[in-house]
Amino acid sequence: MALSLPLSKFMMTVSQFLMALGWFMEGNIIQKFRRFLNNKPALVLCSVFVLHLIGLLYTSDFHYGLNDLRIKVPLLVLPIMFSSTDPLSAVRFRQVLLVFIFGVFASTMVSMYHYFGFSGIKINDIRDISRIISHIRLGLMVCFSIFILAYFITVNFPKVLNFRKVAYILLLLWFLIFLVILESATGIIICFTVSIIIIVRQTLKQGNRLLRYAYGFLLLAVLLSSTVYLYSVIKDYYKVIPVDLKHLETVSPRGSRYAHDTLNTMTENGNRIFIYLSYEELKKEWQKRSNVDFEGTDGKGDFLKFTLIRFLTSKGYRKDADGVAQLSAEEVKAVESGISNVKYINSFPITARFYEILWEFDSYVHGGNPSGHSATQRLEYWKAAIGIIKKHPVIGIGTGDVNTAFKDRYAEMHSPLYLNWQLRAHNQFLSIAVAFGICGLFVFLFSLYYPFVAKKFKPGFLYTVFFHHCIHVYAQ
């Protein structure tokens, strides 16, 4: 199962079936259930499945509810199996973690196979190199692997520098590099956040005053450098190159009239997007440079003409025939694939991703359609979810009516999202509150935090890291 997490959904199912089969074949079923019933954390974890079971009592779409319950079966089966059998030895547990890391590494290698084009599949969005599982899940697993390796390096082998430790260090560095290649904003943010939490944790645990000061200085340095970096990116994004809007030229060098929308203040790299526009020249010149229809869509499914306009603006070119003529062959291909800003090509990948996120929010504020934009379309999902919760605050709408409720809510709020992007909350906390109300959300939160209570708020390093990963996953 550990190997299948980053590699195969099918084998995830098979592995759980084999584990359940082994659990039954081992015998002592009654004794095992007694052990399970005496394990409070396991019982609390199973309460989430029971919550979905109760939700069937007041749902109208029973078919959808049963299907959702089937998907949630591991929330019941795995706690029962793990709590009722003898725990793994420290050596075996470490082996399971290493197998998981190997699976994640193999998944990153498959992604790089697609990245370099060996598969023959055209990649328009760098995040599409993750073909086995979603790029968000792969990024999270890479992030978790980083902390497991850090644990192995610092805890299991604190002093001896041997081949195994060197291998762990190299793997950790590769995973960090891969997060950057994948442009996984979620993975990077989680990696940063959990690192801060771990540093704070180590600072508070240290009895040595000198080490405590060292950890405190490291924390301060990380926070300060990150703040400066983000500030510089945001400042650079929102810079505006001054232009005299009262004296704009009305005719292009080739004789076409320019269109100027001086009320729209959106920019690309400081240049106003909606001035010096000649659609006629753009279309004519573009069709000379490319076989992709000017009125069609780019590789990411966005309107190509708007991608072209944004790209020309980011270069500081006017949106006319001369502007298109100045593009290199590589830049034409970039526009065809859906790249809308030259900085997405030339900048550090993380900086480019932050620019993209800032653009999404800027466009959303100016009335742009958030469809297909991972950051801003979530705002629409959350608006819809909150609206449903307000109507059914106590016990929610039940296990099976979630899809119907979201569909109705999107219609009520006249959401600009295209129908294929009108999805559920993409936030487990909101999803639980939609289905089971505030009461269900309380049960869910209790199931997350109870292990801390059971361990008297002293969980180990790995569980702390895993817990914070879970919180971030549920919030996505």
Q: Tens digit of pLDDT for each residue in 109-133?
A: 999 999 998 888 888 778 889 989 8
Establish if 251 belongs to a structural domain: yes
Establish if 291 belongs to a structural domain: yes
Say if residue 204's pLDDT is above 80.
no
Position 368 confidence tier, pLDDT thresholds 50, 70, 90: confident
Which has the higher per-residue pLDDT, 24 or 219?
A: 24
Q: How far apart, in whole angstroms, are the C-alpha atoms of residue 182 and residue 195?
A: 20
Residues 225-249 have pLDDT tens digits of: 989 999 999 999 999 999 999 999 9
Of 21-25, 444-448, 472-476, the poorest mean pLDDT is in 472-476
* Closest residue by Cα to residue 350 from 122, 189, 141: 189
Say if residue 158's pLDDT is above 60.
no
Give the pLDDT of residue 461.
Answer: 80
Say if residue 187's pLDDT is above 90.
no
Specify the pTM.
Answer: 0.83
Please state the domain count of the chain: 1
Q: For residues 317-327, give the mean pLDDT.
A: 96
Q: How far apart, in whole angstroms, are the C-alpha atoms of residue 53 and residue 46?
A: 11
Q: For residues 360-387, give the mean pLDDT.
A: 90
The pLDDT mean for the chain works out to 89
Say if residue 186's pLDDT is above 90.
no
- For residue 267, what are the β-bridge partners? 272
Establish if 320 belongs to a structural domain: yes
Give the pLDDT of residue 112.
Answer: 94
Establish if 370 belongs to a structural domain: no
Q: What are phi and psi of 251, to 5 degrees?
A: -125, 135
Establish if 255 belongs to a structural domain: yes
Q: Are 55 and 439 in contact (CB under 8 A)?
A: no
- Cβ-based neighbour number of residue 205 at 10 Å: 10
Give the pLDDT of residue 153.
Answer: 87
* Helix axis angle, 428-454 to 374-391, nearest 10°: 80
Establish if 335 belongs to a structural domain: yes
Position 156 confidence tier, pLDDT thresholds 50, 70, 90: low
Give the pLDDT of residue 459.
Answer: 67
Say if residue 474's pLDDT is above 70.
no
Percent of the chain with pLDDT over 90: 60
Give the pLDDT of residue 448.
Answer: 85
Q: For residues 104-110, give the mean pLDDT.
A: 96
Give the pLDDT of residue 161.
Answer: 65
Q: How far apart, in whole angstroms, are the C-alpha atoms of residue 170 and residue 326?
A: 43
Q: Are 298 and 254 in contact (CB under 8 A)?
A: no
Q: Are 157 and 165 in contact (CB under 8 A)?
A: yes
Position 157 confidence tier, pLDDT thresholds 50, 70, 90: low
Distances (CA, A) of 127 to 111, 131, 189: 9, 9, 16
Say if residue 438's pLDDT is above 90.
yes
Establish if 340 belongs to a structural domain: yes
Give the pLDDT of residue 282.
Answer: 95
Position 458 confidence tier, pLDDT thresholds 50, 70, 90: low
Give the pLDDT of residue 476.
Answer: 60
Establish if 294 belongs to a structural domain: yes
Residues 256-314 have pLDDT tens digits of: 999 999 998 899 999 999 999 999 999 999 999 999 999 999 988 889 999 999 999 99
Which has the higher per-residue pLDDT, 199 or 95?
A: 95
Say if residue 453's pLDDT is above 90.
no
Q: For residues 69-98, give the mean pLDDT.
A: 92
Provide the H-helix boundaries in 158-208: 163-182, 185-205
Element of type H or E holding 407: helix 402-412
255: left (phi over 0), alpha (psi -120 to 50) or beta: left
Say if residue 332's pLDDT is above 90.
yes
Q: Are 281 and 252 in contact (CB under 8 A)?
A: yes
Q: Are 288 and 357 in contact (CB under 8 A)?
A: no
- Length of the chain (residues): 476
Distances (CA, A) of 267 to 193, 249, 275, 341: 31, 19, 10, 11
Q: How far apart, in whole angstroms, are the C-alpha atoms of residue 334 and residue 345?
A: 8
First to last CA, the chain: 23
Give the pLDDT of residue 101.
Answer: 96
Range of 345's domain? 245-349
